[in-house]
Amino acid sequence: MDCGADPAGLKIAGMSSERTIRIERDILGKNNRIAADNRARFLTDDLLVFNLVSSPGAGKTSLLVRAVSELKDSRPVGVIEGDQQTSNDADRIRATGAPAIQINTGKGCHLDAAMVGEAYRRLPPLKGGILFIENVGNLVCPAAFDLGEACKIVVFSTADGEDKPLKYPDMFAASSLMLINKIDLAPVVDFDSAKTIEYARRVNPNIEVLTVSARTGEGFAALYAWIRKQAANQRRPVGDALP
Ligand SMILES: Nc1nc2c(ncn2[C@@H]2O[C@H](COP(=O)(O)OP(=O)(O)O)[C@@H](O)[C@H]2O)c(=O)[nH]1
Ligand SMILES: [Mg+2]
Ligand SMILES: [Zn+2]
């Protein structure tokens, strides 16, 4: 693991646990300071920022392609894409006409606040709009790294297996919204929605839940209503013109 953050208590051969903890604290402390700068910048720019996290393939990019296409005519929308390699996802977003910056983390398994600050400077002005950050597909360490976002959204696909919130509790604890995607596949994969929600609320009683299909568009009206609510919470007029 390259991430240098291990909230669950990493053991490194030949290194005392005190030293390991100190290194973790230093890395996360530095990240948190940069995240605070990003957050201040986003507020100044009147920007609502979401950090999308999930296992690889849950449908983050597909969701964003649909959401960005449907939102971009009513307000500025931009995307920061994180993957170890390729610019495939940024290309998919740009095909909608919205701006996207790709970050390649190489051996890295998460985005950090410095990467996001740097990518944000390369985007056109998005004042009064929405910035979506698609994190590296990984249900573990992106939970520990604040990027300066308003909140994290965990995308969970009906094919992921209902017990993932129990197996990767930090991610579900850190997220404000669980977006259950690929609901069109639910009958095929025998998806148990009630069990998934029960497990997610066991680790995070406050997590909100919406069910969508990036393929068919089902549930997106409720997602936009949720985004409007977040915009209102940030006390901005952004929500009024959302579809
Ligand atoms: N049936 C179905 N497939 C989906 C849905 N959303 C995404 N996919 C498919 O799942 C795969 C992974 O999607 P992608 O957006 O690249 O996931 P990411 O790795 O989380 O960004 C692709 O083959 C998508 O076409 C959905 O709602 N329904
Ligand atoms: Mg993707
Ligand atoms: Zn990592």
Whether the pLDDT of residue 42 is over 90: the answer is yes
Q: What is the pLDDT of residue 243?
A: 60
- pLDDT tens across 109-123, in order? 999 999 999 999 999
Contact 171, 142 (CB under 8 A): yes
What is the mean pLDDT of the segment spanning 88-114? 98
Q: Rounded to 10 degrees, what is the CA torsion of 182, 187, 191, 194?
A: 100
Q: From the alpha carbon of 55, which atom of ligand 1 is closest? A: 20
What is the mean pLDDT of the segment spanning 60-85? 97
pLDDT band at 21 (very low <50, low <70, confident <90, very high): confident
- pLDDT tens across 188-235, in order? 999 999 999 999 999 999 999 999 999 999 999 999 999 999 999 886
Distance 54 CA to ligand 3 centre (A): 13
Nearest CA to ligand 1 atom 14: 59
Which backbone phi and psi does 19 adopt, to 5 degrees? -65, -40
Whether the pLDDT of residue 134 is over 60: the answer is yes
- Going along the chain from its start, the domains and CATH numbers come out as 17-233 (3.40.50.300)
